[in-house]
Amino acid sequence: MERTVPTAPSDATTPAADACFPDAAGLLDGMPRQRSGTVVTVEPPEAAPAAPARRVRVPRVWRLLPTPTGTPFTFGYGAVLTAVSLVAAHLDPTLVHTLHQGSSTDVAHLVRTPVLVLLASALWIAGGILSPYALALLFVLTALERRIGGVRTAGVFLLGHVGATLATELPIGLAVLVGHLPASSLHRLDYGVSFGVAASLGALTGLLRPWLRWPLLALFTWTLVTDLIAFTDPMTNWGHLIALAIGVATWPLVRRRHRARQVPSAR
């Protein structure tokens, strides 16, 4: 059965409408009548904005330096070391030597006042504020503190400073006790920040990318081994290698802390 379209009664009484719309009877049911004389224009879609040119990120040099808010431990410790070095530069050399002896972490001082000399010895920079270890302290501690925070950076520094000091001085005390070294070895001059810097550098390399980590670690290790072969100050040179090993041993801890600090910033 074919479907038919009945003619609306209104169409019979309005012949003018039929004249205007001759094809209206052929429309399907429910299909609205098209308005004649209206031109529908379709605007072309707007062109998508061009993607901005990718900018080359330039490393922010100022992040290599400590700031009071970004790296408070490094900034404060560096300020103290600078002040001590500037004051010592204007004191009588004999007085400065006496202060160095009183701050020395030798066996005799470690037996009597261990905490005092361990802290006091970390206030001196051998060679002054322009020595290589002073510059290394500035950049290494800044980079490490920006990654793991000030408290843990201070912990790594003290761990290397105290651990390497005890690892080199205790064997001397035992050697004197059994008679292999003279008693004068108990009063050797030992002070400075180099053990803490070596440990901090060892910890920092664990947070760097492999292409930078291994060359930096190999270069620093080779420098320490060369100093040890020269045999100018074997106990101090051994202390630097021990401090570096202590810093490398902290890789699991510093990496865990570094990942924990990155989680909030990624949210």
Per residue of the chain (267 residues), give pLDDT as tens.
444 444 444 444 444 444 444 554 444 444 444 444 444 455 555 555 555 555 545 456 677 889 999 999 999 999 999 999 999 999 999 999 999 999 999 999 999 999 999 999 999 998 888 888 888 999 999 999 999 999 999 999 999 999 999 999 999 999 999 998 899 989 989 999 999 999 999 999 999 999 999 999 999 999 999 999 998 889 999 999 999 999 999 999 999 999 998 876 554
Residue type, 22: P
pLDDT of residue 35: 46
pLDDT of residue 44: 54
Position 33 scores a pLDDT of 44
DSSP conformational letter for 27: S
CA distances from 70 to 63, 112, 204 (A): 9, 38, 17
In the chain, alpha helices (H): 9-13, 15-20, 72-89, 93-102, 107-112, 114-121, 132-148, 150-178, 194-205, 210-230, 234-249, 251-266
Return the residue matching tokens 């002896």: 101
Q: What pTM was computed for the model? A: 0.76
Structure tokens at 246: 């202590």
HSE-CB at 150 with a 13 A cutoff on CA atoms is 13
